[in-house]
Structure 1
Amino acid sequence: MLDNNKKLETNILNSVVGYKEAALKKEELENKGSNFKEEKGLVRQKINSLHPKRLKLRIEEIRVDTVSTKTLKIVSVDGNKLPPFQAGQYINLFVSLLGVLTARPYSISSSPKDLNSYELTIKRAEGGFVSPYLLDDVKVGQEFESSGPMGSFHHNPLFHGFDLVFLAGGSGIAPAMSMLKSFLASDKDFRFHIIYSNSYEDDVIFIDELRALASVHQNFILTEFLSRQVSPNFKGYRGRLDFKTLQTLLQNAPSKMYYVCGPTPFNEHVGKLLSELGVKSGRILIESNGPPPRPDTMEGWPNSVLPTKEVKVKVGDHQTFLAKVGEPLLNSLERNGYFTENACRSGECSLCRVKLKSGKVFSPPEAKIRKSDKKFGWIHSCVAFPVTDIEIQL
């Protein structure tokens, strides 16, 4: 029995990116011994290759997915393979646009088994700054920089198991597609159920591919929802996902692992439904989705402050500039020539934090700001909305 448990543990660990290679290297060193002078620097070199701070990328192919979405296939400029990633993770794409250096996180929609390229599936954001540029102006051959793959939104075989449900809204299907491709290419005994919600039938990303895969793989289930334009031939559910329908779709709901990715209202709605079904929070992984587009509609927003109001932002001993209350502080900083390291732009990673020396900011309740940051006056600029004149320190 002990041997069987050991084999099971080894099989699960082998599915973790990089584990098998590390185990083989450890065994080699144990068998042959090591001249540590020769090995010096190899650990750092290996870490840098797996988790680089910056990647130089080139657009190799652009595919039109829907009326509002394209997929950019990107490769390394130097021709080498790209760093490994976990299905569900993202890269932060750096863009210089209209004199502003900014960045946006995009989930990788391709399989982690293929490191010759990454695929980024990008949907046009209403009123967006970067997505229209990427969809309308970017050409094949154009080069960009990005971060390495990052993010905690991914399948963890050690803790999540293989009875999985992914609830996707719109472009939230991108990380789900990466997970699906990864599972189908593995030898694991998995069950993957994608519940996919969209508004318009002509704007459903990957739908033909998803339907084709569901028709030939018994362990992959696809359930479709359309809330607005629905043709007579549509065979899925009509309207919004609700408690009764979700209860019907999910047998023994509390035992499964759930991934949720979509617009913020969708994420909040689905999270509430799963909680009502008795699913514990530890079995629900919700991907952050950027700052709220209308912070003034959220709980805690000061009633007397209009989002169009402008306030003064003083940056240490440097300049003072005007910022709109309804815009994240990070955006205002970038537009005024200040680039602070960032990644998720959702209040999760904390890379963009700055010190608030005076004044008040509003941060949405779901922003994952650490207690220590709150205690010592650090704010996450990507989800901080200045509601008074403020002074900050970068």
Structure 2
Amino acid sequence: MSNIQVLNAVTGYQEIIQAKNALEQSGTDFSEYTGQIANIMQTLHPKRLNLVVVEIIQETVTTTTIRLASKHKNPLPAFQAGQYINLFLTIQGTYTARPYAIASSPSENQYYDLTIKKADGGFVSHYLVDQVVIGQEFQSSGPMGNFHHNPLFHGNDLVFLAGGSGSVPARSMLLNILDQNLQQRFHLIYLNSFENDVIYAEELRELARQYDHFTLTEIITRPTAQYQGETGRLSKERLTSLLGTSLENKMFYICGPTPFNQSCQQLLADLAVPAKRIRVEANGAPKTPHQQQHWPTEICLTQEVTVTVKGKGQFKTTVGEPLLNSLERNGYFVENACRSGECSLCRVKLISGQVFNPEEAHLRKSDRNFGWIYSCVAFPLTDIEVLI
């Protein structure tokens, strides 16, 4: 499919071209649009969306899809397949937020589907899966994120390595390809621990039967004795068997738990896949920061420290709790989105003390020079004072 065909498939593209041509003919100076730009930008890139739950779909024993529509019944902002929204909510008096990938197709502008799997020890995921009801209202950010499918530049041979709920952005990408009638090949290699916990299982299998350019490979890592499908884990040999030896022109997407992502990245590196052909979804703060390089060996995760918020108060926390989590738990809100050290919205100024910035913290040079830290992935190693 050519670039022009892709653009013509974009909702509103032809209307924009027609309006542009009409304005060129009239010779306008665009004064009639004075004051409208801010409204247009708010529509396309809103700071907050007011959403309401219109449907709840039980996917597996641990996973639920929450369908969210505009509270005011407006079309929702467009997004690219693979992007997320940041969902804001209050649980047991704590105001917090979590980023969730949009599972629905970008072609659908009346609702966003968020598919949420219970995380071990999860605070927010358990609430969303077990307690949310139809009619409940939420606020969210607009769509955002750099992990997405670009139909113009990502080529025609796409491979998605998904673990568990990593299938959520994969579903959005797949539906987008099918809805837009794109002929890009899409191979989903999907790993799960248990055969009864495969998200979208029947839908994905049916789509694989219907479309020749969609291939589904399911792998179960902890199968029962009765399971007849593929089992085990990914290896260089297995990937080569599934994909062939010519990998340099394929575009790879990786999404799953952090160890899964890291393992897949290493496998692809060992297979000499160029880094520019690999896109990895960030997945929150590290669970084991003390296992990373440069962690001070004399400090343990359970050590207690004091966090002082300049001019506002202080509280106790432990070294192993990300700073943003402890700030929220103690009533201090910091704007945030990815919670993975990428977007920089949650940055705060470190006035005194020492924090550990893990490899997930993509700090800019200017942030380092002027003492800014990304609170979502910063771990306080000593008593600290911050400005928020």
Range into which the TM-score falls when normalised by the shorter chain? over 0.9
Say whether residues 1:357 and 2:351 are aligned partners: yes
Cα distance, 1:233 vs structure 2: 4.2
Give yes or no for contact 1:352–1:381 (8 Å, CA) kept in 2. Answer: yes
**Which residues of 2 match residues 158-237 of structure 1 at below 5 A?**
158-235=152-229, 237=230
Q: How many angstroms apart in 1 are the aligned matches of 2:217 and 2:127?
A: 32
Amino acid aligned to 1:240: R
Asked whether 1:247 is paired with 2:240, we answer yes
In the alignment, which residue of structure 2 is the partner of 1:81? 75
Q: 1:28, CA displacement in angstroms? A: 2.9
Q: Which amino acid aligns with 2:62?
A: S
The reply to whether residue 64 of structure 1 matches residue 42 of structure 2 is no
Q: Secondary structure at 1:323's aligned position in 2?
A: strand
- Letter matched to residue 262 of structure 2: E
Q: Provide Cα deviations, 1:174-225, integer angstroms capped at 9, x if missing partner.
A: 0000010110111322100001011111111001111111011000001111
Partner of 2:84: 90
| Cα deviation digits, residues 323-354 of structure 1 (max 9, x gap) | 21101000111111111100000001000001
Q: CA separation of 1:16/1:162 partners in 2, compared to 1, >3 Å: closer, same or farther?
A: farther
TM-score (structure 1 length as normaliser): 0.94
* Cα separation, 2, equivalents of 1:36 and 1:225: 57
Q: 1:19 offset after TM fit, Å?
A: 4.8
User: Residue 278 of structure 1 corresponds to which residue in structure 2?
Assistant: 272
In 2, Cα distance between equivalents of 1:30 and 1:230: 67
Q: CA RMSD in A?
A: 1.6
- Aligned to 1:268, the other structure's residue is in SS state helix
* Contact 2:285–2:360, Cα closer than 8 Å, also in 1: no
Q: Is 1:17–1:84's contact at 8 Å kept on the other side of the alignment?
A: no
After the TM superposition, which of the residue ranges 192-201 and 316-325 deviates more from structure 2?
316-325
Report how far residue 21 of structure 1 moved.
4.7
Aligned to 2:382: 388
- Name the CA distance, whole Å, in 2 between partners of 1:234 and 1:142: 41
How far did 1:291 drift?
0.7
The aligned amino acid for 1:145 is Q
Tell me how far 1:17 sits from its aligned partner.
6.7
CA contact (8 A) 1:17 1:86 kept: no
Larger deviation: 158-167 or 133-142? Answer: 158-167
Q: Output the amino acid matched with 1:354.
A: V
Deviation at 1:361, TM superposition (A): 0.9
Q: What is the identity, as a one-letter code, of the residue corresponding to 2:313?
A: Q
Q: Does 1:238 align with 2:231?
A: yes
Compared CA separation, residues 140 and 158, structure 1 to 2 (3 A): same
What is the alpha-carbon distance in structure 1 between the residues aligned to residue 333 and residue 15 of structure 2? Answer: 37
Whether the aligned pair in 2 keeps the contact of 1:16 and 1:157 (CA below 8 Å) is no
- The alignment partner of 2:222 has SS state of strand
Change (3 A) 1:351 1:20: farther
Q: Does 1:148 align with 2:131?
A: no
Work out whether residues 342 and 360 of structure 2, in 8 Å CA contact, stay in contact via their aligned partners in 1: no
Q: Following the alignment from structure 1 to structure 2, what is the Cα–Cα distance between the partners of residues 100 and 70?
A: 22
Looking at structure 1, the residues matched to 249 and 156 of structure 2 have their Cα atoms a distance apart, in angstroms, of 11
Instruction: Give 3-state SS (helix, strand or coil) of 1:224's partner.
Output: strand
Q: Aligned to 2:248, what secondary structure does the other structure show?
A: helix
Match of 1:25 in 2: 19
Contact 1:230 1:238 in 2 (8 A): no
Secondary structure class of the residue paired with 1:229: coil
Instruction: Give, as a single letter, the amino acid of the residue that structure 2 aligns with 1:192.
Output: F
TM superposition shift of 1:363:
2.1
- C-alpha distance in structure 2 between counterparts of 1:279 and 1:16, whole Å: 31
Question: Which residue of 338, 341, 345 maps to 1:344?
Answer: 338
- Tell me what 1:323 maps to: 317
Gaps of 5+ in 2: none
The structural deviation recorded for 1:25 is 3.1
Q: For 1:290, which of 277, 284, 290 is the aligned residue?
A: 284
Percent same amino acid among aligned pairs? 55
